Structure 1
Amino acid sequence: MESYASQDEEQAEHDIFSEESRSLPKEKSPLQRHFLCLVKDGVLEEVEAMLRDNLDDLSFTINCLDPCGRSAVELATIRGNQEMVETLLRHGADLGDSLLYAVDLEKEDIVKILLSHKWPTNSTEKGTPKESLFSSHVTPVLLAAHRNNYSILKLLLDHQCPLPRIGDVRGSTNHRVMLDYYRAVTSPSFILLTSQDPFETAFKLKEELNNIVSCLETGKRKFQELSVRLEEFIAELIDFARCPEEVMTVLNGGDNMEDIAGLRMRQLRKAIAVGYKKFVANDKCQELLNLQFYRYHPWILHSSKLKKSLAVLLLEILTPVLAVLYLVVPKTRLGQSIASPVVKYSMKAWSWFIFLQSMTLIGALDHPVLVSVSLVIYCFWVLAMVWEKIEEIWTASVDAWNKWDLLQLLCHVAGMGCLVGGLVVLILDHGLEFHLSGDELNPVFFGVYLLAIAVIVSFARYMSMLMFSETIGPLLLSMYKMVGDIFKFMIVFVIIIIGFGTAFLFLYSAPRVFSDCHVEYYQAVSQANNTNVNFTFEDFCHDYGDFTQYVMLF
């Protein structure tokens, strides 16, 4: 996973040694400055000699700091001098930030030495003194996870170094702290070492990242990049499955496959819910889905498109016969073959087609509310759909429910109830004519309105079955993606149209100042100066009342 590759080691060392602007220089004795220069240059013999000769010198301390605030152990760690680090620790030097530097520069040998050394009592739980160049929330495990270094991270976890905690960032307004936390917990090495179910953890993190992105106004791009990297990792992880049985185990997420016949695929449903498209589109997942869809009929899967079309058409024609056979022998091999997904899909598609045709016939009747064969078929069909959804929810939990089915069933049931109720009232009341009246509160009218909405929703719901088509399916997906953008453009167009409409309204509804009536009025005034003829402005411009009143004010 190249996106998680660590930075170049030499460049990292150069960046660390050029941090002099981060702290103020401090006055040190020439002996301390010489000691730090020797440590930095890696002259081990002279360093050991200085430690032996100046042990009792009060002007010298092994924990002296350079102008950047780094100790001798930290300088040796940055240089990667393993022997120097061992020598300094043997003479009682404090760890300081050395473990953080070693992890950040991915120096595994030095990490082992530092972890085997006993930490001083005045250090924090991460081995960092109170004055640190690293942020307070940075820990060795966090840095190792950022570098995605599996071996170093395993060493730290084996030594029980503290893990990043969600409680430290939950509710925090510091985006940097949140970003560092999620960079660590979304690291592939961290997930593999700390999670019993990497897929479950990845789906949970994806959901958290989606919530964060939806709440942030700025800075969401970094979190979106983490989500993309996590999706790529999960898609690559499923490729390690060696056979369809292992893929099935992963997708079922520990469920008992004997009870659910391998069809629930809980993890796959979660991947769809959180938007892991690459995981769902992975070849291993698609191969397993095809095997499950054509279960008991593998010959259809490996047939040509013409043979597949003919097989599906034959299954649709035999739908009534297959339905009766399944009711008679549901537990036999024939019944299990009929219950396979490809047969159920063909029968479902044919059933929906007949249902839509019955609604079309009801709408084509001159008196659609009259008791007819089409209306009776429609009522029984609605009751059957309600029973089917109740059975799905009972056997497969609420995952089988969705908004389209809810809206569709509500419209059908409410419309059917209004129609049947209105017909019963009209039949029992002999004083009313047996036809639709002009009363808008007639329940039959409400039933017709709801039925019209149900027809639209049903036809739209039928389109979802065309997703399996290799030609129509991609077009439907593209159309669904464009729906949101279409509504956004419609908002812009509506605002512009309203603006133009308002402007034209002002333009064409304003009174004409130089109209013919004004000319006639002023000509009459000039001619009647020496006469006793009296007239007003309204006598000439009675069609421009507002403007006339405005003129008469002056």
Structure 2
Amino acid sequence: MSRAIQRLMKDYRKAEKLIGRSTNESFADFTNSASFTTQTMTQIRREPELTQDEKKYLVAVERGDMATTRRYLAISSGTTAALLDVDMPMTPININCLDPLGRSALSIAIEYENIEMIELLLSYNVDTGEALLHAIDEEFVEAVELLLQHEDLKQQQQKNSINADNNRYSNNIGINDKSNPLFTLAQDALEKEKKEQQYDITQKVNEQLNLSTSRLYTPDITPVVLAAHRDNYEILKILLERGEKVTEPHDVRCDCANCIVYNKEDSLRHSRSRINAYKALSSPCYISLSSRDPIMTAFDLNRELKRLSRIENEFKQEYEQLAQQCQEYSAALLAETRSSKELEIILNYDSENPPVLSETPEKMNLSRLKLAIRYKQKKFVSHAHCQQLLASLWYEGLPGFRRRHSVIKILITTLVGLLFPVLSIAYLLMPRSSIGRIMRQPFIKFICHSVSYIFFLILLFVVSLRIDFAKVLSGIEEETNERRGPPPNPVEIAIMFYVAGFIWAEIKQLYQEGLHQYMADTWNLLDWVTNCLYVAAIVLRVMAYIKVNQEERDLQNKAISVHGSHNSSGVHTPNHPNLTSDPVSISTGHNVRRRDWNAWDPTLISEGIFAAANIFSSLKLVYIFTINPHLGPLQISLGRMVHDILKFSVLILLVAFAFACGLNQLFWYYARMKKSECELDAGFDEYCAKDIHKHFSKDFNYI
């Protein structure tokens, strides 16, 4: 025992050294020393000195000496058998004493995992204190069960004592009688005390914040929270079966009275308590034991933690680690699937509309997978099991296509692409036929849609070449494309049918997905803008056609009236309306030269809008190329590069604006002076003729 005592004394001196004092130096002398410069700012708390018997008692617990520990406990409790033992000292000790490291006898027994010693200490009703939290921290399951049973036993004893007191007082009829004046006075005093005691929230917060600093755990660390932090399945199961649960913290933007006061009194502890709560909620074992839909719970937690990482930037790294943990947990659950049937059940599960076991869905809706894509659960979506199921669905109807040679793949793709008009017509006329069922296969449908869209781009390219189909088909030398408000040619009519189909497809998608989900995809917004531009171009072309025809009729009526008046006077006039001397007729009619058109002519505006729509339509190919394993990642890199370019553009514009303001401050006088000279000088000046005094202001506007 002497060695154990020496080791305990060594630890005791080490602890005293850490707080800045030696064993031979009193606290008063220490505070009066010259080195103690922060005596007005800091108060050092000194633990009470241990007696020699208390040190032996703690050493006996640490060594597992049951007999010695039992005798010390018996002496302190006043047991007669211990008092008759002459070999033991008669001085009782404090069985709840602490060693220099702040450990009680029960904590030491838990640290050394001595279950017999723990049972012995609990039998003598030692103070448990934070022993339950310490046992959970050490992940000592047997100790946790013992401590919980001990707490239950104490609560039962207190309950029995209260019941016994109530039964004893209930026998006193005089006091229990409401007609007794004493009863009335007591009742009035209680009601008055309730009214006067308005519990202040600030006082409540201060009580929690001013707890003893000797606690190893903050008040927000409950047993179930600590068990979730340690991710111990057995301890969590024991606590959850007792009805314990982790309380979800208030929202980070919550402005309730409690949150305002907590944030005002100690914002750091308030933020740390939120982190501790979410750390417990994101524990894999806690989610598995407490949630009916663990994957959905992990998705929601991941989304919430990412939002908190953007709001509380100071703790961004911790929130991102917890979000990553939730994402890995959902992917780990997906990895536990053992068959394609289990995988289909998981990916098709919809928490809002759970399926009936007797129902067998004909078509997979992949609700859970779509939800994972919406929540940006990359590890879940990119998991091998998920990708294998998607590949089997994608190449359904083409067994063994992925294992064939590349040449055979190209030939099959080309054949399907060439037959897409036949397949499309067969699908429209006979959707339930064998050919119609072929068109329902995802891979075949994708090839047909891609070839159809490429054909649409070819039509746009043909229109951009400005080929005059009226001239080619009829052999007339007149340039129809150069006329104002020309009628649509066959290619433009085909484009109009394509645009109508695109609009119908977008309406169907909007109806199926909903407005919020539809607007969440940037490509849907691009399609919507492109379709609006095409519709605007078509409407303007129709307006231009109607307007020009109306102008032609007006000019013909005017020419007829003028021709009739001149015939009556015997003067010959030209028949063409655009060759009249009237200046209004120069910019009206079909056969006006393009350079004489009005700048806001509907035909010119429709051509500009149509050109912008063509650009957006060509960019849609980037979306189709995402299926390629080489071009798809490049699209992601391109998007990130554009974001970086925009960030650098902000700095470049700021620097350019600063230099422009500085140069304008230096040269504004000379530009204004030269401008006034040019206005006063009536003679020819090459400098003034070129408006050089405005060049700097133009440069400033360009910048």
Q: Please report the TM-score for the alignment, with normalisation by the length of structure 2.
A: 0.63
Aligned to 1:25, the other structure's residue is in SS state: coil
Aligned match of 1:290: 391
Deviates most, 403-412 or 77-86: 403-412
8 Å CA contact 1:411, 1:454 repeated in 2:
yes
Aligned to 1:261: 363
Alpha carbons 1:141, 1:163 under 8 Å: kept = yes
Greater alpha carbon shift after TM alignment, 253-262 vs 318-327 = 253-262
Alignment of 1:317 onto 2:418: yes
How big is each residue's C-alpha offset from its partner over 1:264-285, in whole Å with a ceiling of 9 and x where there is no partner?
3222223223332222221111
Tell me the equivalent position of 2:137.
Answer: 104
In 1: Cα distance, 2:228 partner to 2:613 partner:
53
Matching residue of 1:167: 250
| Offset, 1:501 | 5.8
Tell which deviates more after alignment, 386-395 or 416-425.
Answer: 416-425
Do residues 486 (structure 1) and 645 (structure 2) align? yes
- After TM superposition, the structure 1 = structure 2 runs for residues 245-284 of structure 1, keeping only pairs within 5 Å, are 245-254=341-350, 261-262=363-364, 264-284=365-385
Do 2:246 and 2:281's aligned partners in 1 also have CA atoms closer than 8 Å?
no
* Deviation (angstroms), 1:405: 2.7
Residue 369 of structure 1 deviates from its aligned partner by 5.8
What corresponds to 1:217 in structure 2? 313
Q: Distance in 2 between matches of 1:447 and 1:18?
A: 85
Change in 2 beyond 3 A, CA 1:169/1:113 = farther
Sort the Cα spacing of 1:94 and 1:290 in 2 relative to 1 into closer, same or farther, 3 A.
Answer: same
1:349 aligns to 2:450 (yes or no): yes
Distance 2:58 2:251 in 1: 37
CA contact (8 A) 1:412 1:451 kept: yes
* Counterparts of 1:314 and 1:138, CA distance in 2: 67
Which deviations, in whole Å up to 9, do the C-alpha atoms of 1:145-200 show, x marking residues without a partner?
Answer: 22222222222222222324233877465332222222222222122112222221
SS at match of 2:500: helix
Q: Secondary structure at the match of 1:118?
A: helix
State the AA in 2 paired with 1:261. K
2:439 is the alignment partner of 1:331 = no
- Residues 409 and 258 (structure 1), Cα distance of their counterparts in 2 relative to 1, 3 Å cut: farther
Aligned partners of 2:302 and 2:324 also within 8 Å: no
Matched, 1:75 2:108: yes
Match of 2:615 in 1: 456
Change (3 A) 1:354 1:51: same
Moved more, 140-149 or 266-275: 266-275
Specify whether residues 325 and 50 from structure 1 end up closer, same or farther in structure 2 by C-alpha distance, changes over 3 A only: same
Counterpart in 2 of 1:385? 502
Aligned residue in 2 for 1:44: 66
Q: Superposed, which structure 2 residues align to 1:86-101 within 5 Å?
A: 86-101=119-134
**Contact 1:169-1:177 at 8 Å conserved across structures:** no
2: CA distance between counterparts of 1:298 and 1:224? 42
Partner of 1:126: none
1:23 and 1:69 in contact (8 A); partners too: no
Q: Which amino acid aligns with 1:100?
A: L
Letter in 1 for 2:403: H
In the aligned structure 1, how far is the partner of 2:485 from the partner of 2:133?
79
2:226 maps to 1:143: yes
- Please give the alpha-carbon distance, in whole angstroms, between the structure 2 residues aligned to 1:419 and 1:260: 47
Over the matched positions of the two proteins, sequence identity in percent amounts to 27
Per-residue CA deviation, residues 99-153 of structure 1 (Å, 9 max, x unaligned), is: 111111111221222222234559xxxxxxx754311110122112222222222
Q: Which deviations, in whole Å up to 9, do the C-alpha atoms of 1:50-91 show, x marking residues without a partner?
A: 222221499645444445554432332223221111111122
Largest Rg, 1 or 2:
2
- Structure 2 CA distance for partners of 1:463 and 1:260, relative to 1, 3 Å: farther
Unaligned runs of 5+ in 1: 1-13, 123-129, 513-541, 546-554
Stretch deviating more after TM superposition (482-491 or 104-113): 482-491
Q: Which SS does the other structure have where 2:218 is aligned?
A: coil
| Closer, same or farther: CA 308–480 of 1 in aligned 2, 3 Å | farther
Change in Cα spacing, 1:167 to 1:480, as seen in structure 2 (3 Å) is same
Using the TM superposition, name which of 307-316 and 252-261 deviates more: 252-261
- How far apart, CA to CA, are the structure 2 residues paired with 1:237 and 1:18? 47
Deviations 1:438-485 (A, max 9, x none): 444444444333333322222222211111123322322322232212
| 8 Å Cα contact 2:485/2:548 also seen in 1 | no
Corresponding residue SS for 1:299: coil
Distance in 2, Cα, partners of 1:331 & 1:302: 29
Query: What residue in structure 2 maps to residue 522 of structure 1?
Result: none
Question: Contact between 1:300 and 1:311, CA under 8 Å: does it hold in 2?
Answer: no
- More displaced 10-residue stretch of structure 1: 136-145 or 438-447: 438-447
- Residues 1:507 and 1:169: Cα distance change in structure 2 (over 3 Å): closer
After the TM superposition, which of the residue ranges 321-330 and 239-248 deviates more from structure 2?
Answer: 239-248
With over 3 angstroms needed to count, the CA separation of the structure-2 counterparts of 1:217 and 1:304, relative to structure 1, is: same
Q: Is contact 2:76-2:93 (8 Å) kept?
A: yes
What amino acid maps onto 1:459 in structure 2?
S
Deviates more, 1:445-454 or 1:233-242: 445-454
Counterpart selection for 1:375 from 492, 496, 504: 492
Please tell me the residue identity of whatever aligns with 2:65: V
Q: Which amino acid aligns with 1:42?
A: G
User: C-alpha distance in 2, partners of 1:343/1:37?
Assistant: 79
Q: Give the 3 Å change call, closer, same or farther, for CA 161–508 of structure 1 in structure 2.
A: same
User: Over the residues paired in the alignment, what is the CA RMSD in angstroms?
Assistant: 3.4
Question: 1:181-234: CA deviations, max 9, x gaps?
Answer: 222222221221122222211111111112112223322112112222322232
Distance 1:30 1:351, change over 3 A: same
How far off its partner does 1:406 sit?
2.8
Read off the aligned partner of 1:485 and give its amino acid letter: D
1:510 Cα deviation after fit: 8.8
Q: Which amino acid aligns with 2:298?
A: A
- 2: CA distance, partners of 1:330 / 1:323: 10
- C-alpha contact 2:252 2:308 (8 A) present in aligned 1: no
1:323 Cα offset (Å) = 0.6
Q: What displacement does 1:310 show?
A: 1.9
Contact 2:231 2:285 in 1 (8 A): yes
Q: Is the 8 A contact 2:95 2:126 kept in 1?
A: yes
Deviations 1:306-354 (A, max 9, x none): 2222222211111110011111221234322211111111111111112
Contact 1:408-1:457 within 8 A present in 2 as well? yes
Change beyond 3 A, Cα 1:67–1:446:
farther
